[in-house]
Amino acid sequence: MTTAREMDNEIDWSSLTFDYTPADINLRCHYSDGKWGEIEATRSQEVALPIAATCLQYGQEVFEGLKIFCGKDGKVRAFRMADNARRIKESAEALIMEPVPEEMFCEMVKKIVKLNARFIPPYGTGASLYIRPLQLGISPQIAVRHSTEFVFIMMASPVGPYFREGFCPTPICVTRRFDRVAPCGTGRWKVGGNYAYSLTAGKMAHDLGYSSVLYLDPREKRFLDECGPANFFAIKGNTYITPKSDSILPSITNMSFMQLARDMGLTVEQRQILLDELDEVDEAAACGTAAVASPISRIDDLDTGRSFVISPDNTPGPITTELYHRLRAIQYGEAADIHGWTTVIDLD
Ligand code: PLP
Ligand code: COI
């Protein structure tokens, strides 16, 4: 981990990866006695918790991820922050946690950006400021019981591409050995616990040379679900296809690509996708805030030995490329934000 002090005046913005580079200030807000307290700003990178806190004992934790961009016009923009505010509320409610009011969420995003302005990567570097909001249940419990007290934290880190390769196709794998989540489980919410076992599956995939695991639906293991920390989409002729499943996170990036695909005249189908259908697709990618659109070169089924080659020449497909550039252009203020996805943050 690089400390903020070491980074003073010497961040090599264009070489940033998705490693954590702590910004100067993070924010906290406590909920107790039925109300949220004052928003506190701190330089501390530590959180003091009761050892019996439910987040530590029973994983009562939810989080989010969103990005801030410095535009061509010098303006600083948050991308679809109200959607992240809504989603963390839904995740919290799913785990019987007090939802953070959307206005408070957005106010804290603006505040953390202002307080860490020097960490916003300059336009042209391809980097952004990643904001990680998280909410913890902090009431001490030894019985399996939910908290009535919470802390909502917001931290920030400048980041580059999630996959080291950037916008370049990588191979991924399918395996039935691991499920990301259970049927009727927490897959559609951003719950920290969903990622715990994915560490094991992800390490196995990395060790075998894959950038991630493409999970199958946990009920039948016939349909595509999602790609580790990102959704999955494919292009089949003039159609954008993406899985419909109640065990995947409703990705804000995927929703944006679906809209951009419609804008480009493509048909959009959000439906169950059989693994076998991968034989018929022209392009495929993982998509998410961190991953943006990460093209997929090949999908190997580790259990059957079958390989679906998506990009034989290892180049990103034309439609994925166009979608990627359209999204980035809106995020960096290079194209008109006709869907009203960005919020300009005043740094004064
Ligand atoms: N799926 C999972 C499991 C994720 O963790 C993420 C990241 O947030 C996504 C999909 C992509 O969602 P979004 O585009 O809202 O970042
Ligand atoms: C994101 O895309 O924002 C994520 O949260 C994915 C991952 C880093 C958990």
All structural domains of the chain: 5-159 (3.30.470.10), 170-331 (3.20.10.10)
Whether residue 137 contacts residue 98, with contact meaning beta carbons closer than 8 Å, is answered with no
| Prediction pTM value | 0.96
Q: Which ligand is nearest to the CA of 186?
A: 1
The Cα 290–Cα 252 span in angstroms is 11
CB of 175 closer than 6 angstroms to any ligand 2 atom? no
Interior CA angle at 157 toward 29 and 126, to 5°? 140
With a 6 A CB cut-off, is 289 part of the ligand 2 pocket?
Answer: yes
Secondary element (H or E) of residue 76: strand 76-79
Give pLDDT, residue 4: 47
Pocket of ligand 1 (CB under 6 A): 65, 226, 229-231, 249, 251-254, 288-289
Strand partners, 234: 241, 284
Any residues with CB less than 8 A from the CB of 143 and at least 6 apart, and which? none
Alpha-carbon span 5 to 44, nearest angstrom: 13
Question: pLDDT value at position 207?
Answer: 98
Tokens 């499920």, residue located: 179
Q: State how far the Cα of 326 lies from the Cα of 343, in Å rounded to an integer.
A: 17
Ligand 2 contact via 228 beta carbon (within 6 Å): no
Q: Are 141 and 57 in contact (CB under 8 A)?
A: yes
Residue to mutate (ligand 2; options 62, 289, 327; most atoms within 8 A of CB): 289
Dist. CA 256 → ligand 2 center (Å) = 16
Tens-digit pLDDT profile for the chain (348 aa)?
A: 444 444 555 899 999 999 999 999 999 999 999 999 999 999 999 999 999 999 999 999 999 999 999 999 999 999 999 999 999 999 999 999 999 999 999 999 999 999 999 999 999 999 999 999 999 999 999 999 999 999 999 999 999 988 877 799 999 999 999 999 999 999 999 999 999 999 999 999 999 999 999 999 999 999 999 999 999 999 999 999 999 999 999 999 999 999 999 999 999 999 999 999 999 999 999 999 999 999 999 999 999 999 999 999 999 999 999 999 999 999 999 999 999 999 999 998
Instruction: Identify whether the C-beta of residue 251 lies closer than 8 Å to the C-beta of residue 234.
Output: no
Name the residue with tokens 């995020």. 331
Specify the DSSP element, H or E, that contains 268: strand 267-271
CA-proximal residue: ligand 1, atom 5 (nearest): 229
For position 9, what pLDDT does the model report? 56
Residue owning the nearest CA to atom 16 of ligand 1: 289
Nearest ligand to the C-alpha atom of residue 254: 1
Alpha-carbon span 170 to 181, nearest angstrom: 24
